[in-house]
A and B are shown apart, each in its own frame.
Chain A
Amino acid sequence: MSHPHRTQNIAFFFLLLATLLIVVPVGLIVVIIVQKGLPAINGQFLLDIPRQGMRAGGIFPAIVGTVYLVTGAIIFALPIGLLAAIYLSEYSRENMLTRLIKLAIVNLAGVPSVVYGLFGLALFVVFFKFGASILSGSLTLGIMILPIIITASREALESVPSSFREVSLSLGASKWQTIRHIVLPNAIPGILTGTILGLGRAAGETAPILFTVAAFYLPRLPHSIFDQAMALPYHLYVISTQVPNVDEKTRYGTAFVLLALVLVMNIIAVVIRTKFRKKKKW
């Protein structure tokens, strides 16, 4: 005799367990970082330059550097990614070329981040002679998040009902007018979701900025986009492994700031997205 109810309960138990197992690490990370990092947070830590070989002072240059890098990466990747997504979902026909492009995007997403770092070093730093600079780092990060933005934008564009397009076209609007006035406004929430994902990734990665921008120790703000900069993830790596006798508090404080920074960026994007979603009327 089998017991359908017992089998079901066992299945439920494992499903619930698996779900809880996802929550536990996330919760623990947040708890540990907040618990150990929060005491380090004060005005000086956030707004002062690093002192005494990064054992004291603050992390202001690294915060600014990360904000610059992420902003630069988005400025570069969002327009290109969005235009590519529009082309792929609205204009391109299924042929060898578009299949090749789609394959390239999938592969781009699968490239390990350290390879992006090396690529950025070879192309932007050396070949284009941008040197180790915010520009090189932003471009490298931008290329890394391109596939995320393209994929999310394409899905967002394709989820706009085709009936809207037909209505718009049937009223004598051109294809571009239809995309501009009907498809894009309704795809913005999805596009922003992709941008949020890319943003978080760009803020957190260490390898792509390692060779292209990150300064080991630069206790001042960058002067221009051709200047080197400190960045939070790399700074965290440095004070955790390269510099002896750094307070645990300082290390976790840095991690906390990085986490908070990504969170704040996400919240901003979510607020914008909610505003656009409210306008969605179907």
Chain B
Amino acid sequence: MEIWSHEILSVIGPSNSGKTTFLRTLNRLSDLHTAFRMSGAVEMDKRDIREMDVEILRRKIGMVFALPLPLPLSIFENVAYGIRMQGVRNKHELEQRIEEALRQGYLWDEVKDRLDESAFKLSGGQQQRLCIARTLAVQPEVILFDEPCSGLDPVSTAKVEDAMVELKKKYTIVLVTNNVKQAARVGDKTAFFLSGELVELDKTDRIFTAPQDRRTDDYISGKFG
């Protein structure tokens, strides 16, 4: 399959269908599991990701996890973490990049006066937007979203979705979601996974109006899953 820059690819499918594994293969987070085996190849800009330096790869391909997972640090340090790990020490540059990232994550106005507080004091939706800002701060090219709204209420979900559509202008997005409607709302292309197999991949409106495969039709119309 091909993922074009500045588009949103939604990946849908029931639990255990391999969506998250697919996502984690892209930034090589799957490598952490000793039992993980991979065949085939993933290329980014025509280069095999296994030949790239894994830290560089993960800077280019950011990830937002299913649950808001702030690091046990302050709000400021959460966003600063990725930048610091690249060796940036200049305080002025750090502050600038952090403000920019938090603005892009639609969080700046809510947290600008309490950047030194623990990230755990934020609400769930704010934490998730903090995680998005943290990912943006590293200035990736691709952002992987792993069911980013599964723990959020509809209002927070809408905010995250708005952010994603806005982010599409600058980044390429792969969105794994359990929420079929969410895929329909934000995805340019949609891929349907079932039991570890890619069943169908097409433009989102085609998947939802004229799916080629019966199983896709059954899934999106809610007959199973």
Residues of A within 8 A of B (CB): 93-94, 163-174, 177, 181-182, 186, 279-282
Which DSSP category, helix, strand, loop or mixed, fits chain A's interface?
helix
User: Which of B54-62, B148-156, B165-173, B215-223 forms part of the interface with chain A?
Assistant: B54-62
Contacts of B113-142 to chain A: CB distance below 8 A: 118-120, 131, 134-135, 138
Q: Chain A residues near B65 (CB, 8 Å)?
A: 163, 166-167, 170
Q: Contact: B55 with A174, CB < 8 Å? A: yes
B48 to chain A, nearest CB (A): 19
The interface residues of chain B lying within 8 Å CB-to-CB of A279 are: 72
A172 touches B71 (CB 8 A): no
| Cross-chain contact A173 with B71 (CB below 8 angstroms) | no
Known: A171-B58, A281-B72. A166 touches B81 (CB 8 A): no
Interface residues on chain B, number (Cβ under 8 Å): 27
Do residues B82 and A94 form an inter-chain contact, with CB atoms below 8 A? Answer: no
Stretch from B27-35, B175-183, B188-196 that touches the partner: B27-35
Across chains A and B, the number of contacting residue pairs, with CB separation under 8 Å, is: 67
- Once the chains bind, are A182 and B85 in contact (CB under 8 Å)? no
Of B55, B69, B73, B131, the residue contacting A172 (CB under 8 A) is: B55
Cα distance A93–B119 in the bound complex, in angstroms: 34
Contact at A177–B29, with CB atoms within 8 Å? no
8 contacts between A and B (CB under 8 A): A93-B34, A163-B69, A167-B131, A168-B71, A171-B81, A172-B58, A280-B72, A281-B119
Chain A residues with CB under 8 A of B85: 168, 171-174, 177, 181
Complex: how many Å from CA A254 to CA B8? 75
Q: Chain A nearest CB: distance from B23 CB in Å?
A: 11
Q: How far is the CB of A159 from chain B (nearest CB, A)?
A: 13
What residues of A have a CB within 8 angstroms of the CB of B55 in the complex? 172-174
CA distance A68 to B142 in the complex (A): 57
> Which A residues are in CB contact (< 8 Å) with B67?
163
Tell me the bound Cα distance from A88 to B29 in angstroms: 21
Closest to B34 in A: A93
Q: Which residue of B lies closest to A160 (CB)?
A: B72
CB distance from B25 to the nearest CB of A (A): 13
Closest-by-CB residue of A relative to B67 is A163
A170 / chain B contacts, CB cutoff of 8 Å: 27, 29, 58, 62-63, 65, 135
